[in-house]
Structure 1
Amino acid sequence: MKKIIFFITLLSSLITFAQNEEIVDNPFTPEENTLFSKALEKLNSKKYPDAIEMLNKLISSNKEHKSPYFYLTQAYFENKQYSECVEICTKGLAIGPKENLLNYYRAKANIELGKTDSVCNDLKKSGTQEKELLKYCN
């Protein structure tokens, strides 16, 4: 019984901590939060041009938050706008260089563009184990 009470106490402490961290880490205004949510809905609905427009608007008003860069990267990649994808990955990595998924998408976009000289470094940083991609590192 003591273990159960301890576990519940620990779990509720972690949830409270996570919620507090989210509040501190959320630099968006309520309007930006709404725009971000709508952009993610468009992205999930595969309405990439709409998602791209909304995410670009969000980035222009809040350049220091990494999340919009990741989702914009994804939208550009899925919309086959590989040059734009590489550009946004590079900008996002300048803000937070430990974003493995930005390295991953930049490598994949560069492969699609036929620019395979620099992809190995990004693939290693991304931590991918995809054999199809790792062949560019040999």
Structure 2
Amino acid sequence: MARPSTTADAFHAIAEPRRRQILGLLATAELPVNDLVTALDIPQPQVSKHLRVLREVGLVAVRGAGQQRLYRLSPAKLKPVHDWVKGFERFWAESFDRLGEYLADLQAGQPGADTPPHKTEGESE
């Protein structure tokens, strides 16, 4: 089966860690490519390739300002990702609730609290 193009949708585009870093930087400010190069510490051609993919998907917009090209986040195209992740919100909330209950039981000396702690290296019995 052929691998889908990274420009097919937001999910494919953000699968690459450097692109997620770029989106994170652009979430805070509109930036020229040179600022992204400095922040990411990778060569300009690589940053430009990532920006091209993000532009093709619609996650990033660009505008000219004199001789500079300024990039900014286009968050509306992240909505499908947000909607998908939101589906897991209940799972995480329930997991954290269970963890909170477990910790409260431990502090109150409830069952399971008498389990001996793990021994550290070099500790005698």
Q: Same fold (TM over 0.5)?
A: no
Higher relative contact order (CA 8 A, sep 6+): 2
- TM-score, structure 2 length as denominator? 0.27
Question: Higher strand proportion, which one?
Answer: 2
Which structure is higher in helix share?
1
TM-score (norm 1): 0.25
| Rg larger for | 2
